[in-house]
């Protein structure tokens, strides 16, 4: 009985010693690992791990923001420049178009006037042809006194001749008793024809 008790005590002692060693080993292991963890924490705190990465990311973000702002400003300036050039081009085009329109209007007006004059010239009575009816009495050059009674008509003013011929046509003029004869000669003349023949005679 005493031997069994002694053996039990010895066994208990051995177990306690082993447990103590095991506990001491765990504490030692923890103690050994702690400096490494502390060192790692210290290094990160000094910016040697995660701190570095965070700082680089912030710097990259700031650089990107600055680059974007510069690019945006450059785009705005270029857009303003293009807008200004486009505006100048539009104004120049308007001025050129306006000038072209004015030139075209002037050309049309000139052409219209020329066309009217051409039509008028083409349709105007021929004073020389009309004078053929007068040449028998007044001479081809208008310098013969008709029937030896009338005045020389060549060289008289166109206005005076026009008034006299119109008077003969109306029957209100009877110079040297030739009113009836002259009325027969000029009764078919229109106002335009009287003007044309008077102008022709005045140039003889």
109 and 132 in a common domain: no
Phi-psi region of 39 (alpha: psi -120 to 50; beta: other; left: phi over 0): alpha
- Residue 32 reports pLDDT greater than 60: no
Count of domains forming the chain: 2
What does the pLDDT look like over 135-145, one tens digit per residue? Answer: 999 999 999 99
Using alpha carbons, list the distances in angstroms from residue 169 to 45, 138, 147, 175, 190.
Answer: 130, 17, 19, 13, 10
71 and 100 in a common domain: yes
Residue 116, in any domain of the structure: yes
Give the global pTM: 0.45
Domain residues for 110?
Answer: 45-123
**d(C-alpha 194, C-alpha 131), whole Å:** 10
Residue 60 sits at the vertex; the CA angle it makes with 59 and 62, to the nearest 5 degrees, is 65
198 and 132 in a common domain: yes
End residue of a domain, out of 84, 99, 123: 123
Residue 74 sits at the vertex; the CA angle it makes with 69 and 76, to the nearest 5 degrees, is 95
Residue 57, in any domain of the structure: yes
109 and 147 in a common domain: no
End residue of a domain, out of 106, 123, 140: 123
What does the pLDDT look like over 3-16, one tens digit per residue? Answer: 555 455 665 555 55
DSSP 8-state secondary structure symbol assigned to residue 141: T
pLDDT > 70: what percent of the chain? 74
What does the pLDDT look like over 193-204, one tens digit per residue? Answer: 999 999 999 999
135 and 110 in a common domain: no
> Residue 157: which pLDDT band, with cuts at 50, 70 and 90?
very high
Residue 178 sits at the vertex; the CA angle it makes with 128 and 148, to the nearest 5 degrees, is 80
- Residue 90 reports pLDDT greater than 60: yes
Q: CB of 197 within 8 A of CB of 182?
A: no
167 and 102 in a common domain: no
* Closest to 162 (Cα-Cα) out of 124, 126, 190: 190
What's the longest Cα–Cα distance across the chain?
A: 203
pLDDT of residue 127: 93
What does the pLDDT look like over 108-151, one tens digit per residue? Answer: 999 999 888 888 778 889 999 999 999 999 999 999 999 888 89
């Amino acid at each position: 009985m005493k031997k069994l008790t002694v053996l039990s005590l010895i066994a208990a002692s051995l177990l306690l010693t082993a447990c103590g060693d095991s506990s001491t080993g765990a504490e030692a292991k923890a103690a050994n690992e702690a400096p490494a963890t502390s060192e790692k924490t210290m290094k990160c705190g000094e910016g040697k791990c995660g701190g570095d990465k965070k700082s680089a990311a912030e710097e990259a973000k700031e650089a990107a923001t600055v680059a974007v702002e510069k690019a945006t400003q450059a785009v705005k300036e270029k857009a303003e420049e293009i807008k200004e050039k486009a505006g100048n081009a539009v104004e120049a085009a308007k001025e050129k178009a306006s000038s072209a329109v004015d030139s075209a209007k002037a050309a049309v007006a000139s052409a219209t006037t020329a066309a009217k004059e051409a039509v008028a010239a083409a349709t105007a009575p021929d004073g020389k042809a009309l004078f053929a009816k007068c040449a028998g009495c007044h001479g081809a050059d208008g310098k013969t006194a008709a029937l030896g009674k009338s005045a020389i008509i060549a060289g008289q003013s166109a206005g005076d001749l026009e008034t006299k011929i119109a008077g003969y046509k109306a029957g209100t003029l009877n110079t040297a008793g030739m009113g009836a004869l002259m009325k027969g000669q000029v009764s078919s003349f229109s106002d335009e024809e009287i003007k044309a023949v008077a102008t022709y005679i005045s140039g003889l």
